[in-house]
Amino acid sequence: MKTKISIPYGKSAVTCEVPEERLRGVLYSKAHDYKAKAPETDLVRESLCAPINSPPLRELAKGKNRVVVITSDHTRPVPSRVTMPVLLEEIRAGNGSADITILVATGMHRIMTRYEIANRFGPEISADEKIVAHDCHDESNLVSLGSLPSGGELVLNRLALSCDLLVAEGFIEPHFFAGYSGGRKAVLPGVAGYQTVLANHCAEFIEHDRSRTGVLDGNPIHRDMIFAAKTAKLAFILNVVIDADKKIIAAFAGDPDAAHREGCGFLKGLAGMKPVPADIVITGNGGYPLDQNIYQAVKGMSTAEASIVPGGVIIMAAECCDGHGGEAFYDTFKDTRSAEEVMRAIIARGRNETLPDQWQSQIFLRILLKHKVIMVSSVAPEMIEHLGMIPAQSLDAAMTKAEEVLGKKDASVTVIPDGVSVIIE
């Protein structure tokens, strides 16, 4: 008997069959099966009516004439078509004449296209509201605020600092070195200068044993992010938890730290699980938009890394319609002589010598130095090979190649269909 395996891939899925006697387990977040207690908009409204450790947003908005709402960019599946209208309504209930700017937290990513903005916010908001994209390199719109706890320079977007009320929306998912997404990440890296992001994502912190999925306490990256959010006077957040269909199943609003932590606790109760080690781990990056490029797919690979035997093979299925996702990331591997050499160079760099995308390369290298990675994607095989992986046209072909690498036909298999949605403890 065989079990059919389906991995989210772009806006569809790829499949294969695995013999039952070889299948050790299928690990998936219970969030995907969670039955929401109310429709999406109702969940958002209820969270805003009962904020955590905070006055209601409409109360905070009274007398605040310049309001900035930070939101995520195209690389995050935040359901802004649902959340943003309610947030704006709530702010205007407190101050109908407030000048509101939606600030897109691009971090160090590219600027969103007009199509992506319209798709994210819907036609009304994209046409009627003031939407500004953060540019981490635009010195004229950046302000230095001294040092982070780590010693790196804290540089943030001028718009976020000059408003009367700073609000952020986002979603909470496991994050492979910040512990969880959402909350304070709207500020750092969301609207931070490039030098601040680089210092926060330094080799020392990425290597730290607390900089892992599902870990906040003792995480040096999280500590810097919390400091940045407080320094920016982030006053209120709306964070949601979503299922596999990107639908809201829970919402948390209020104090940026307290509401975020409550949301993280809710998600951990659904997504936390023990590892099921196997020779082969098949995983994905949750489909579109999280599997748009190879750079983002490293997140899913890191989950597979947490549930695999030494020397095992990772099979990653990610469409990667946007290619590799970062020139610096790609060039690090394309022109290198060995993974060991690149890793030594990264570890030797000081906090203020961090290079763009170095953190992603560091985690990717950590995986490649221990495991072969076979990638099923739409990008050219040569690109995958330049990045030190083995290309495959399908999951079936990837399974065959994995068996050849391991030298055995009866290799055990664990499947993690959505590698960015689970927390392996």
Question: Hey, which residues are catalytic here?
Answer: 109, 175
d(CA 417, CA 425): 17
> For residues 81 and 112, is the Cβ–Cβ distance under 8 A?
no
Tokens of 333: 């591997």
DSSP 329-354: HHHHHHT-S-HHHHHHHHHH--GGGP
SS3 category, 289 = coil
> For residues 108 and 79, is the Cβ–Cβ distance under 8 A?
no
Tokens of 257: 């730290």
d(CA 159, CA 104): 11
Tokens of 47: 């969270």
d(CA 325, CA 344): 23
* CB neighbour list of residue 204: distance below 8 Å, 6 or more residues apart: 220, 351
What sign does the CA torsion over 148, 153, 159, 161 have?
Answer: positive
Q: How far is CA 307 from CA 26, 145, 221, 280, in A?
A: 11, 41, 24, 9
d(CA 31, CA 201): 29
Q: Which DSSP category does 313 fall into?
A: E
* CB neighbour list of residue 223: distance below 8 Å, 6 or more residues apart: 149, 150
Amino acid letter, 330: Y
| Ramachandran class of 214: left when φ > 0, alpha when ψ lies in -120 to 50, beta otherwise | left
d(CA 213, CA 180): 7
Tokens of 226: 């919390």
